[in-house]
A and B are shown apart, each in its own frame.
Chain A
Amino acid sequence: TQLLEQSPQFLSIQEGENLTVYCNSSSVFSSLQWYRQEPGEGPVLLVTVVTGGEVKKLKRLTFQFGDARKDSSLHITAAQPGDTGLYLCAGRTGNQFYFGTGTSLTVIP
């Protein structure tokens, strides 16, 4: 059973386009993290959001935690080939993280 569903599952866009990845759940999380994973490597943490409605920006990436702390979104502005990778959201309940299904992003030069 997947607690966190991500959409879309796959995304292929041209360099310079904007995109949004969604992470949805029916469960409430105490915090939510976003990771990026590149082939042959482990996931790397991008951001942690804790408060409902919280918005964090990391250069061209904007992360938002839903008001009810059940969902989150990642928006990338002017995507670049270096943004290519697998994006994973992970929600924390108790002492355990539950990972989303992942969104595979390809940015074409």
Chain B
Amino acid sequence: KAGVTQTPRYLIKTRGQQVTLSCSPISGHRSVSWYQQTPGQGLQFLFEYFSETQRNKGNFPGRFSGRQFSNSRSEMNVSTLELGDSALYLCASSLAAGHQYNEQFFGPGTRLTVL
């Protein structure tokens, strides 16, 4: 079974631009979560989607948004990029949301650098 795929793997943008990252979950998984990982703040939750609906949202500004399509693929968008948005963006998929044994399978991430 193919794992979680994220595209692109690396991205360089300049301040003020916008960016869209893509995530394809494991086949059959309906929940997709997004995380931002930086050396200073560690791994922080952005949002979770399940069946095309946003179920949870972390404490990030409105410049960060996402969506999920009917095939469970998900995209996240960051508008008006700032230097501090440079990070590894990780996508995780799981079968369903809400169960305490819910195992998240992470993709390799997209490394975003903002210049």
Contact = CB atoms under 8 A, between A and B. Distances in A.
Contact of A42 (B44, B92, B103): B92
B56 A40 contact: no
A97 B45 contact: yes
Interface string A88-109: 1010101111111110000000
Contacts of A98: 45
Given A42-B92, A95-B48, A100 B42 contact: yes
Interface stretch (A17-25, A43-51, A56-64): A43-51
A41 to B, nearest CB: 5
A30 B45 contact: no
Given A31-B101, A97-B104, A99-B42, 16 more contacts: A41-B108, A41-B109, A42-B90, A42-B107, A42-B109, A43-B43, A43-B90, A45-B105, A48-B103, A50-B100, A88-B43, A95-B98, A96-B56, A97-B33, A99-B35, A102-B42
Interface of B: 4, 33, 35, 42-45, 48, 55-56, 58, 90, 92, 97-98, 100-101, 103-109
